[in-house]
Amino acid sequence: MHIAMVGAGYVGLVSGSCLADFGHEVSCIDADAAKIEALKAGKMPIFEPGLAELVANNVRARRLSFSTDLVGAVRDAQAVFIAVGTPSRRGDGHADLSFVYQAARAIAAGLDGFTVVVTKSTVPVGTGDEVERIIRETRPDADFAVVSNPEFLREGAAIDDFKRPDRIVIGVDDKRAKAVMTEIYRPLYLNKAPFVFTSRRTSELTKYAANAFLATKITFINEIADLCEQVGADVQDVARGIGLDKRIGSKFLHAGPGYGGSCFPKDTQALIKTAQDHGAPVRIVEVVAAVNDQRKRAMARKVLTACGGSVRGKTIAVLGLTFKPNTDDMRESPAISIITALQDCGARINAYDPEGMDQARQVIDDLTFFYDPYSCCEKAHALVIITEWDAFRALDFDRIKSLLVTPILVDLRNIYDPDELDRKEFDYSCVGRGKVPPLGP
Ligand code: UDX
């Protein structure tokens, strides 16, 4: 099938490459000519494990191409995916749909023959109706159907999530469109991946409900972690103890500095706004978003406490800047809040991240960058681990102790065993693994 993928970002590039790998002919479109030229030269605009090879294989097989010619690509396509950004609108948290609507108008111009227009981007309930209205207004003669097909791709695992999804959700009311979507995902159909065919609005809301629930689950275990610190319990054992209940499930129960990324923060805000606008506020999600924002700042206080209450004039070594490992993405990373709070308290920051430093330069000022964990620690007064990259999971603490001014480690991802660090005479702080209070008299 001929497919046009509008948007060559985290979602469009991965989705387009995977659909090409399924055997379809995909033309990946972007308005950014420099990005398209880079892609044609085999240079990826994002860090995603396995993506460069997937793109190269499908370009070589002539199933995947890159272009800025949206109208031409739409003319040849039976299905056109809208995979452009839907960032939070400045100031009010609504999703900014201007790129989606621009794409809809441009797509309308190229429609030729029955075409399925698919919203892959995360869009508020009712956006599909508006996309349909814009296209019909622009091209009353066109024969098309608008379908919702949200993505559930995690950065760093996006290719696997696309090829081995827990489910495919498709919001479609048109029989011909349903047949086209079934054909597009035939390889997954044959692999018995669960398909959820539903209405367009239900599909759009399903995406937000999924992300809001995951954000809630993370925030729940983060608050339990705070309680664990007060009562001397271990949040990792609590997480295991509840996660073994199949009704709860063990995933997304890792306590940490709060969730970041390009999705949870913006999608929770967009859902909150949609719910408020429709008089059915999602109060739980409102609290989750507020608690998560406060948590990132609270992590800086944990570092201050570990450093004796002040970091003024001190150097703090930070390992991990990205919002999660295996990505270069700094969007809403807890590191931004934590580092700027420490700088406001007079700390100098040494930083190392395997992939995120180029993006970090654009969002955090006055960082001193290093290119390995050990040089980052030299003459620092404390070491803080913010992102759980594999590269930080087997550090040589004898060497680190020799480099630090004071052996202070704040492990915000609970990578290490407190007893091991105690044996190495580190002053070790972590998340949710409280020390049992001394027994009363
Ligand atoms: C998320 C959803 O998982 C994905 O389905 C959706 O399509 C896009 O948004 P992503 O934002 O890439 O994916 O990352 P994810 O792995 O979900 O982590 C999001 C944030 O939650 C990260 O900051 C991560 O550190 C944090 N997190 C995740 C936790 O703090 N604890 C956990 O147990 C899991």
Query: What pLDDT digit, counting tens, does each position of 174-183 carry?
Result: 999 999 999 9
- pLDDT class of 93 with cuts at 50, 70, 90: confident
91 sits in the region (left: phi over 0; alpha: psi -120 to 50; else beta) called left
**What local confidence, expressed as pLDDT, does residue 437 receive?**
67
In this prediction, residues 306-332 reach a mean pLDDT of 97
Distance CA 343, CA 142 (A): 57
Helices and strands (DSSP H and E) totals, the chain: 18, 14
Contact 64, 40 (CB under 8 A): no
| Domains of the chain (ranges, CATH numbers) | 2-198 (3.40.50.720), 213-429 (3.40.50.720)
333 CA: nearest ligand 1 atom: 23
Q: What does the pLDDT look like over 365-392, one tens digit per residue?
A: 999 999 999 999 999 999 999 999 999 9
Cα of 260 from ligand 1 centre, angstroms = 7
Q: Quick one: which atom of ligand 1 is closest to the CA of 256?
A: 30
- pTM beyond 0.75: the answer is yes
Ligand 1 atom nearest to CA at 264: 9
Radius of gyration of the chain (CA): 24
Report the pLDDT value the prediction gives residue 441, as an integer from 0 to 100: 63
| CB contact at 8 A, 3 and 184 | yes
Q: Judge whether 395 and 407 are in contact, CB under 8 Å.
A: no
CA distances from 8 to 26, 155, 169, 226, 285 (A): 12, 15, 21, 40, 30
Helix or strand holding residue 261 (H, E): none
pLDDT band at residue 52, thresholds of 50, 70 and 90?
very high
39 Cα to the center of ligand 1, angstroms: 27
Mutate to test the pocket of ligand 1, among 263, 336, 355, 413 (most ligand atoms within 8 A of CB): 263
DSSP 343-402: HHTT-EEEEE-TTTHHHHHHH--SEEE-SSHHHHHTT-SEEEE-S--GGGSS--HHHHHH
On whether the CB atoms of residues 159 and 50 are closer than 8 A, the answer is yes
Clarify whether 228 is annotated catalytic. Answer: no
Q: Give the ligand 1 atom nearest the CA of 211.
A: 2
State in Å: Cα 88 to ligand 1 middle: 17
Atom of ligand 1 nearest to the CA of 222: 30
Ligand 1 atom closest to 261 (CA): 11
Ligand 1 center to 351 CA (angstroms): 22
Tokens 């925030």 locate to: 219
pLDDT in tens, 124-173: 999 999 999 999 999 999 999 999 999 999 999 999 999 999 999 999 99
Strand partners, 198: 171
Measured in Å, residue 211 CA sits from the centre of ligand 1 at 9
CA–centroid distance, residue 154 to ligand 1 (Å)? 7
With bands split at pLDDT 50, 70 and 90, how would you rate the model's confidence at 363? very high
What is the CA(115)–ligand 1 centre distance, in A? Answer: 33
Mean pLDDT in the chain?
96
Q: With bands split at pLDDT 50, 70 and 90, how would you rate the model's confidence at 191?
A: confident
Lining ligand 1 with CB less than 6 A are: 151-155, 211, 214, 218, 252-254, 256, 259-261, 263-264, 323-324
Question: Ligand 1, from 47, 154, 236, 322: best to mutate by most atoms within 8 Å of Cβ?
Answer: 154
Alpha carbons 361 and 341: distance in angstroms, whole number: 17
Give pLDDT, residue 303.
Answer: 98
Q: Report the distance separating Cα 171 and Cα 128, nearest Å.
A: 9
Among protein residues, the one whose CA lies closest to atom 21 of ligand 1:
259
Q: How far apart are CA 150 and CA 391, in angstroms?
A: 33
In the prediction, which pLDDT does 189 show? 85
- Of all protein residues, the one whose alpha carbon is nearest to atom 17 of ligand 1 is 154
The DSSP symbol for 151 reads: -
> Hey, which of 238, 252, 267, 389 would you mutate to test ligand 1's pocket, going by the most ligand atoms within 8 Å of its Cβ?
252
**18, 28, 228, 263: which one is catalytic?**
263
The pLDDT tens digits of the residues spanning 339-359 come to 999 999 999 999 999 999 999
Lookup: tokens for 126: 């009712």
**CA separation for the pair 208, 47 (Å, rounded):** 25
Determine the residue type at 135: I
Query: Whose CA is closest to atom 28 on ligand 1?
Result: 252
Look at the block and give the residue holding tokens 């839907």. Answer: 86
DSSP state of 323: S
pLDDT at 206: 98
Task: Give the pair of three-digit tokens for residue 144.
Answer: 């098309």
The best mutation among 214, 269, 392 to test binding of ligand 1, ranked by most ligand atoms within 8 Å of the C-beta, falls on 214
3-state secondary structure of 141: coil
